[in-house]
Amino acid sequence: MDGLLRRGKMILPALKNWIGWCQRQQQCCRFYSDLHARQKCVSQHFQSMNLREDSIASQQTSKPGELTCKSQRLMLLAGLIYPASPGCFHYMPYTVRALEKLIRMIDREMQTIGGQKVNMPALSSAELWRASGRWELMGSELLRLADRHNQEYCLGPTHEEAITDLIASQGHLSYKQLPLLLYQVTRKFRDEPKPRFGLLRGREFYMKDMYTFDTSKEAALQTYALVCNAYGNIFNTLGLRFVKVQAATGSIGGTMSHEFQLPADVGEDRLMMCTGCDFAANEETLNPDEKHCPVCKGKLAEYKGIEVGHTFFLGTKYSSVFNATVRTAENKHIPAEMGCYGLGVTRILAASIEVLSTEDAIRWPSLIAPYQVCLIPPKRGSKEEKGAISWMIYMTVLLKQPLGLRRR
């Protein structure tokens, strides 16, 4: 009797699980039987479905018949984005999913090198920008506004002033706290005169911007190299062929700058790359008549590229203005040596589609593809349909849950 009771205790839990499994399969069979008998099913995923290829040019170009780029056309036709106004887009669920994956990858890489994530206001005071001299320098590129008290602001395209003012407000940084690497991934704004190419050049976009603080120029250059290597790791992990080129510092300033470019025919930057060594530069940094490499005198070949990252060695350009200082080991107070580093997050999404896709099919880097597997049911009435119902029931048994379909 004792042996029988012990056997019963072992069998009853398994029997309970088996009965539950049978009930689930019965419900599943009823669901798919009803599914087969009624009208066709649609996915629960929300995406734009009312854009036709012949409507894209009229919605997204400034002149009738003007061509769009491949990534813009594919993303619109696939319902990944939907135009809201010139240079601004709704990001649909698939795109948001890919965006979040990319941001997580960037977070891991930035935190591996010691980055700490912050989040700064999109509204930036005009006083800060006037102090740095960029309120006038940036001109019409800044999206400016005034509140009810007539205080002026801009929607930040970048945050050098804001982060340096924040550091200055905390008192003197100790050399023991450095290097300090702060970054954010937020929406940025730029009043583009002619938004084009979808997410490649818009008025509103996501950017990762990092700001670093060091005690000396030598230490700051080591941090600069560290961040540049991290950028290279990101693009290599994504499987994107990139070129690091010397670049102009432009309105951000500093004494050294590099761009990370993805070679592409639709690119708006002209890159000069040496055929004999590793030298590469944006054409705007070279003399117009310079046809040979300044390093080895080899021939320079011209390519087009899409800028997806930009780094700057700022020195004390901002820290000296806002009094962001460092206390050295000798107890001296000196301006912090700074760097700033941008990654165009939404631009990376579009640029990866631009360089990897065919003319009629999207190819994502596998690590940021919205989904690794997509189940596509056969056309209603086709010979494959009968077998598909059995296959979907099998998949449901395997996954132990119904597939995400609903009747329309």
Question: Can you tell me whether residue 285 is helix, strand or coil?
Answer: helix
pLDDT in tens, 121-162: 999 999 999 999 999 999 999 999 999 999 999 999 999 999
* CATH class of the domain comprising 96-121+156-356: alpha beta
Confidence band (pLDDT; 50, 70, 90) for 380? confident
316: which residues sit within 8 A by CB, 6+ positions away?
A: 335, 336, 337, 338
Question: Per-residue pLDDT for 29 more than 50?
Answer: no
pLDDT at 3 over 80: no
> Is the distance from CB of 246 to CB of 274 less than 8 angstroms?
no
What is the C-alpha separation between 217 and 223, in angstroms, rounded? Answer: 10
pLDDT of residue 48: 73
Lowest average pLDDT, out of 119-128, 264-273, 388-397, goes to 388-397
What number of residues does the chain have? 408
Residue 110 and residue 210 in contact, taking contact as beta carbons nearer than 8 Å? yes
Checking if the pLDDT of 311 tops 90, the result is yes
In sign, the C-alpha dihedral spanning 305, 306, 309, 312 is: positive
Which has more pLDDT, 26 or 217? 217
Question: Predicted confidence band at 381 (pLDDT cuts at 50, 70, 90)?
Answer: confident
Q: Estimate to the nearest angstrom the gap between the alpha carbon of 373 and the chain centroid.
A: 22
Q: Which residue has the higher pLDDT, 375 or 65?
A: 375
Q: What residue segments make up the domains of the chain, in order of their start?
A: 96-121+156-356
Cβ neighbours for 153, distance < 8 A, ≥ 6 positions apart: 123, 124, 125, 126, 144, 145, 146, 147
| pTM of structure | 0.82
- The rounded distance, in Å, linking the Cα atoms of 327 and 330 is 8
pLDDT in tens, 69-117: 999 999 999 999 999 999 999 999 999 999 999 999 999 999 999 999 9
Largest CA distance in the chain: 101
H helix and E strand count, the chain: 11, 19
Q: What is the mean pLDDT of residues 220-247?
A: 98
Given a cut of 60, whether residue 314 has pLDDT beyond it is yes
- Could you write out the DSSP letters of every residue in 162-192? HHHHHHHHT-PEEGGG-SEEEEEEEEEE---
